[in-house]
Structure 1
Amino acid sequence: MGRFRAKSDYESIRNARISENQARLASLGLQKAISELRLITTPSKSPKRKYIKADCTTLPLRRSNRLKRINPNSSDDSISIRRSLPDNDGHFEEEEKRPANAPLVNVRVCRSNADVSSERRCMSKGRGSVYDPVFGICCHFCRQKKLCGEEDCMRCNNLDTDQPCLGKTDCSVCHSTNGVLCRACLKVRYGEEMDEVRNNKQWKCPHCIEQEGTKPYWICNSSLCLKKRKMVPTGIAIFRAREMGYESVAHLLMDELQRADGR
């Protein structure tokens, strides 16, 4: 009984002290100040914005600056769109098939010889140094659409679109962009010389060689093709390949794939 009585005495004293403190705060006006501070510090909820679906049918079509400069009613545009026209029987004629290193450029642009002078581009038979979005041909590996530095290349020197680019390869099987390689990438990445490839009318790109299976573990080591295989691109691996005695990055990668398959 004494223990319960002591507890009730403590609670009564505690409740009396709480009531005394509340009365003292009320006399000082602190309760009102506390409530006002709580209203100030409490962040107000921003109203939700109503989602309004945009009507795309009334918006103008987005067009590139090149298409904006072209007048559809004019017949003297610098760049024309090529379409296949039906013959008398209603059949569409197929366009002329051209090699990958000589794509057809249907433009009516006159350029002077000063545009491709030696002051603006490298004549060292490398990748070249002038980017040309019209006459340049993109390399499958470095993806640089530049004019080549071959001395006898009529396409890059004279801008003759009927001639193939001597500084880019062309696969004799697929004739696709996968087989278009510049002189530098062909040597560093695959260990082949442009002059030998140019004289070999039966030259095949790494994609076609892999498809035929005549050279096991020989694959294209471009970043695009390696990513499709879920492999990490090799980057600048020619220095490591040469230190290890390999002719090119492709030979190093072929040996690594063969060792990994034998484990």
Structure 2
Amino acid sequence: MGRLGTSDYEDLRNARILENQARMATLGLHKTASELRSIASSVKPTNLRKHSKKDYTLTPLRRSVRLKHSDHRLKHSSTATTNKRPNRVSLRRSYRLRGKEGGVSEESVEESEESYGTTPSSEERRPANMPLVKVGGLELQLSPEYSARRCDSKGRGSLYDPVYGICCHFCRQKKLCGEEDCKRCSDLDMDEPCIGKTDCSACHSSNGVLCRACLMVRYGEEMDEVRKDKEWMCPHCVEEKGINPYWICNSSLCLRKRKMVPTGIAIFRAREMGYKSVAHLLMDELQRTNKVIA
């Protein structure tokens, strides 16, 4: 096949290129461009920024206020007299614990280091719903605002208090109970038990501490009846003593130890199926599973 001829567009384009080149040669632009390139290549930059390596060994380290305060305490404790207890730990206090937003007044929370956080001896061991909290002999009282809010929720309580609140084994909320006649949570009387938390007659451990709401929803028992029953035992002790081997604790911690999936909010499914609580549902399921395996 022969070569095709150029089109009119290409002829017009080539003619315009030749015309532009002739015009640039007439104006001397080619010579000017070459001179500018040679000047630009011959000029060397003079204000280059020199890199200087900083010697950090001579720079003092920044110290936070907390570390400076800790160093000051250590220095002060080293020069203290020998009659004080050695190796004391100074606790960090949040604004809530200082009485700014918490349920305890500021005066009652500023405990002395000698008394706060001490572990009770064997003679001082108490039931789990009456733990001993030493505050250096200071007068304890709730602020009027928190006293009015304490009984807003009778089930689990309305006030969270990490110092005086007793932790429920299931919901793990350290709250002051909402019982109106509880002297421990209303007057902060450490010699009285919290009547809004249960206590196992067998183990007296934290496994048997349940609030009113968790006791009813998870185990189908009333707090008033449990409080009257001096022989009441937690699910751990009931199973351990063989009273009812299928009556187990259904908290997430205990179910994971059994390699069982936590039930979550299973009370709605339990009540739809006619069970009184989640524990009754699990007891029936464990019995059926045991029969199938057998």
TM range (shorter): 0.5 to 0.7
Partners of 2:117 and 2:212 in 1: how far apart?
32
Q: Distance in 2 between matches of 1:112 and 1:207?
A: 35
Q: Which has the larger radius of gyration?
A: 2
- Structure 1 stretches of 4+ with a deviation exceeding 2 A read 60-67, 75-84, 108-113, 120-124
Q: Report the counterpart of residue 210 of structure 1 in structure 2.
A: 239
Q: Give the secondary-structure state (helix, strand or coil) at the position aligned to 1:258.
A: helix
Shift of 1:134: 1.1
CA drift of 1:113 comes to: 4.3
Check the 8 A contact 2:160/2:176 in 1, yes or no: yes
The answer to whether the Cα contact below 8 Å between 2:117 and 2:133 also exists between their aligned partners in 1 is: no
| Deviation (angstroms), 1:116 | 3.1
Task: Give the share of equivalent positions with the same residue, in percent.
Answer: 69
Please give the alpha-carbon distance, in whole angstroms, between the structure 1 residues aligned to 2:248 and 2:229.
20
Contact 1:116 1:157 in 2 (8 A): no
Count of matched residue pairs: 189
Q: Which amino acid aligns with 1:143?
A: R
Task: Report whether the alignment pairs 1:105 with 2:133.
Answer: yes
Residue type at the aligned position of 1:80: Y
User: Are the equivalent residues in 1 in contact too, given 2:141–2:187 (CA < 8 A)?
Assistant: no
- 1:72-221 matches, cutoff 5 A: 76-77=112-113, 79-82=115-118, 94-108=122-136, 109=138, 110-114=140-144, 116-118=146-148, 120-221=149-250
How does 1:35-74 map onto structure 2 within 5 Å? 65-66=92-93
Gaps of 5+ in 1: 1-59, 68-74, 85-92
Indicate how the Cα distance of structure 1 residues 136 and 78 shifts in structure 2: closer, same or farther if over 3 A, else same.
farther
AA partner of residue 200 (structure 1)? D
CA distance in 2, matches of 1:78, 1:185: 36
- Listed one character per residue, the Cα deviations across residues 185-231 of structure 1 (whole Å, up to 9, x for unaligned) are 00000000000000000000000000011113110000000000010
What is the deviation of 1:81?
4.5
Task: Using the TM superposition, give the Cα deviation of residue 83 of structure 1 relative to its aligned residue in structure 2, in angstroms.
Answer: 6.2
**What CA deviation, in whole Å up to 9, does each residue of 1:58-88 have, x standing for no partner?**
xx89976249xxxxxxx9448535368xxxx
Q: Distance in 1 between matches of 2:240 and 2:128?
A: 19
Instruction: Tell me the distance in 1 between the aligned counterparts of 2:242 and 2:122.
Output: 32
Please give the alpha-carbon distance, in whole angstroms, between the structure 2 residues aligned to 1:81 and 1:256: 43
Q: Residue type matched to 1:147 in 2?
A: L
Q: CA RMSD for the aligned pairs? A: 2.6
Map of 1:259 onto structure 2: 288
Contact 2:153 2:178 in 1 (8 A): yes
Shift of 1:125: 1.8
Partner of 1:9: none
Secondary structure of the residue aligned to 2:290 is helix
> How high is the TM-score relative to the length of structure 2?
0.59
> For residues 63 and 158 of structure 1, what CA distance do their matches in structure 2 show?
27
Summarize the Cα distance change of 1:80–1:152 in structure 2 as closer, same or farther, 3 Å threshold. Answer: same
CA distance in 2, matches of 1:158, 1:199: 23
1:82 partner letter: T
